Structure 1
């Protein structure tokens, strides 16, 4: 790797190996992608392009041979300290190309050595501005910054740096172990977060399901109650219509039958009154009865008085209705309506007395037979 330069005058030892220079044999063939620097009597004369070249013996000398191909140089491993005081061992590869053979020959003593040293110092400077985490994450940006810095300094050397790649980064053992623990802790944290998020989402889903279930159940109960209430209301309406129809039929029968129908109603009321007293002793041990329970006739008369009071109330209601309907008409129709109502009341009282008398006579005849 190390040897002395073969150039005239004996240059100091260089870091990079350099091939020997071709001898002057008058006729030379320059290889493709190669530039030969010819000096005449120690002074730059010309650059030989690929192909046939004629040299003057003794006077002309091939002083430098420059390859115009892209060259890959290995940057030796070196130490660098990051912004958070972590010592790293880094090595890399530098890709360069000679674009001006004259500057590459006379602008710097050893272009390869200069480029290598510049790459190392630039890499240390760039890494010193970053922390360890950023060095590991921003290798591409680090390579770009190093390449740009080398090109700015090597422009006068006739060499262009195409790219720089950090090959290996070696951190101290304790730092690597701490990084591993950090990665493990970070992954454990993410796993716990994901697990807790899953449990949270599961609880939310279960609560939403229960909420929807309760809502649907309440809606079902509401619909059931509405339907039940509608049915009960319809049943009540039907019963009321049936009762009204029955009452109308009874009223028409009483109206058409007159005294005979009224007597039958009075007898039915009296029978139910007597029957109700007969059931009192069967339904309980304590019986509350009126003081004249031994007077059957009085009981029947009381039952008939109930009917009479009802008839009297109905007659008053009918009379009031007739008076109301007759407002706005002459006095003659109103007087006639009032007399009709009064006559109806007197007729109802007389009918009640006749029915009571006939019921008592029937009861006496039955008692005499037994």
Structure 2
């Protein structure tokens, strides 16, 4: 009796435990449970603790309320240009109505997959392969719109649809690779050609600038060389003018001394005739003198010279008598113009012109072909033009010596007469001093004029070689 009671109590306890377990249900978070009672829909249990009627209520399905990601296998799709491509799709959806997801469709995942495939074929079938490859966003938008509308009655919301891969046929892939390779090669050739063109342009620009700079340098060098040549010629001409003037002064002084010595010695006609005969060989040495005609009555010619130059003495011999006013004529003093010839100071105009030319020559060229930003070299050298327009007051060289250059007697040496060696002393007295060339008064006056050039070669009687003596 006790054993039966124990068994009954154990069975009752087991029944109570089973009943309690059947009556209590816990639903996890982000899930829902569809509960049926006696085969009919009763309610949808939300997350938490739920009480059921034991042996009457039953859980039909548990639905995941989170957003689900389903990747479907590649589906063959024919494009508008009759090319078959394999497209992989990924669908993101979420169950919003658990009752509809359970009772409106048997398997909503398979339904979403099939609906995605049919919609994808419908959308891609109206596009070419190139449009399919470049219009993924448009395809995704169309798929999402169609799927969301179709799955709404299933209690499902489609968040988005993505195309993972679009694989064209192998032959099309090869063609696309060749096309892509050709396109890349074309772009590479275009870029290479552009680079070569830019390089050629830059090289040409550099050569052009180099030639422009070289031409500017040559131009400046030519300008400076021309300016230097002009200044050199001006200074050389000034030096020659001063040298000739000094030479003329020296010859004038020599002639003056000779003439004074002749007047002091009072030569007789015999001495004059003797010196004339000694001078004739020197006169005949000239290249221009070809024929000499000596008068037959030579004595009368000498007598005429003596009468012209002297006066008869007590013994009947004509001798030279100096005039009452025997003061030698003094040469005119040098005026300011002649004194300026020997000025060794530097002309400020020349220094300014040289400085301006050097500044222009050292200046950089700015524009390739346009006008230079600085002053033009010809404008800079314009200050030197007034100096060249005044030949009488030309600038002197800065490097000239302080003293005038010595006269080179080798350029125009006066003919030296040999010392007479007569057998006896003439009646008029011996000739004092070395025999030298002398000139007439007219030639002495010509030598006193400054800047008239070198003194011409004189004859023994004061006139030009080969001519008659001047008349006093």
Q: Same fold (TM over 0.5)?
A: yes
Q: What does 1:261-340 correspond to in 2, within 5 Å?
A: 278=287, 293-295=290-292
Residue 194 of structure 1 corresponds to which residue in structure 2? 191
* Bigger relative contact order, structure 1 or 2 (CA pairs below 8 A, ≥6 apart): 2
Are 2:252 and 1:149 aligned?
A: no
Q: Residue 461 of structure 2: which of 354, 358, 363 is its match?
A: 358
**For 1:7-18, what aligned pairs fall within 5 Å after superposition?**
none
Match for residue 44 of structure 2 among 33, 44, 47:
47
Q: 201-210 or 230-239: which moved more?
A: 201-210
Q: Which residues of 2 match residues 167-316 of structure 1 at below 5 A? A: 167-246=164-243, 278=287, 293-295=290-292
Q: Secondary structure at the match of 2:22?
A: coil
Equivalent in the alignment of 1:37: 34
Per the TM alignment, residue 49 of structure 1 is displaced from its structure 2 partner at its CA by 1.7
Q: Decide whether aligned partners of structure 1 residues 201 and 296 sit closer, same or farther in structure 2, where only a CA change above 3 A counts.
A: farther
1:122 aligned residue: 119
CA distance in 1, matches of 2:284, 2:109: 137
TM-score after normalising by structure 2: 0.48
In the alignment, does 2:102 pair up with 1:96?
Answer: no
**Runs (5+) with no aligned partner, structure 1:** 1-23, 264-273, 279-288, 298-346, 365-370
Partner Cα distance (2:25, 2:205) in 1: 91
Q: 1:128 to 1:275 in 2, by over 3 A?
A: farther
Q: Distance in 2 between matches of 1:158 and 1:276?
A: 146
Structure 2 CA distance for partners of 1:362 and 1:127, relative to 1, 3 Å: closer
Tell me which moved more, 106-115 or 355-364: 355-364
- The aligned counterpart of 1:367 is none
The equivalent residue for 1:160 is 157
TM-score, normalised on structure 1?
A: 0.59
1:164-189 deviation digits (Å, cap 9, x = unpaired)? 23233332121111111112211221
Indicate which of 64, 79, 88 corresponds to 2:61: 64
In the alignment, what sits opposite 2:136? 139
Query: 1:82 is matched with which residue: 79, 88, 91?
Result: 79
Query: Cα distance, 1:357 vs. partner?
Result: 8.4
Unaligned runs of 5+ in 2: 1-20, 260-282, 295-440, 447-457, 468-472
- Whether the aligned pair in 1 keeps the contact of 2:78 and 2:125 (CA below 8 Å) is yes
Instruction: State the Cα distance separating 1:160 from its structure 2 match.
Output: 1.8
Counting helix residues as a fraction of each chain, which structure ranks higher? 1
Q: Secondary structure at the match of 2:160?
A: strand
The structural deviation recorded for 1:57 is 4.2
Which position in structure 1 is the counterpart of 2:267?
Answer: none
Cα 1:172–1:260 change in 2 (3 A) is: same
- State the SS of the aligned residue for 1:212: helix
For 1:360 and 1:195, how far apart are their aligned partners in 2? 94
Distance 1:93 1:348, change over 3 A: same
CA distance in 1, matches of 2:70, 2:156: 13
How far off its partner does 1:231 sit? 0.7
Give the length in aligned residue pairs. 271
SS at structure 2 position matched to 1:217: helix
CA contact 2:459–2:466 (8 Å) conserved in 1: no
